[in-house]
Amino acid sequence: MSIKKQFAKRYIPPQTKWKLALKGIGKLYRAIYDELEEEDKNSSDSTLSKAAYRIGKDFGQTLKADFKLGNTIDDIGFAMEIDHNIFGMKAKIAEHSRSRIVYYCYQCAWKKYFEPRLCLAMGQAEKGVAQALNTNAKYNILQTRTMGRDKCIFTVEV
């Protein structure tokens, strides 16, 4: 192993390593999306949406079991916060009631690699997380930064 790699392994802060991992995942999603779109423009969104939803639902079920979460909006909010932290999103709660949470997302590790359709497709993972905790949960993306807006806005309702 080169001296450069030894120093990198030892001295690169975990936060930087995590950013590099998210960058790689973002590029991978984009490459998959581009390949699917090249084969069939209409199926790329649907295929990725379904896959992202299944992954999100599985992750939500894991969170539900590990943290003994119920089906309340507060439990869904807790699961969403974990999801955001893991996947490099900085979202603030703009509105919170007994049945609804509105999020404003100001930073996303993948904005650079996504376009609006890919962003909406991958957003289905959060829908999966919400519905793993409450099958009646509704998840909607109202706007995204990939659409040229200053923030993403999405809601969860039960």
Instruction: Give the CATH number of the domain where residue 40 resides.
Output: 3.30.1380.20
Residue 2: its H or E element: none
* Structure confidence at residue 4 (pLDDT): 57
Residue 58: predicted pLDDT: 95
Q: Quick check: is 70 in a domain? A: yes
Within 8-145, strands assigned E span: 89-96, 100-108, 138-143
Q: In the predicted model, what is the mean pLDDT of the chain?
A: 87
Cα(22)–Cα(134) distance, integer angstroms: 28
Q: How far is CA 127 from CA 37, 84, 148, in A?
A: 23, 13, 22
Residues in the chain where the model's pLDDT stays below 70: 1-18
Q: Quote the pLDDT of residue 26.
A: 80
DSSP conformation class of 147: G
What is the domain count for the chain? 1
The predicted structure's pLDDT at residue 127? 97
Structural domain containing residue 107:
14-157
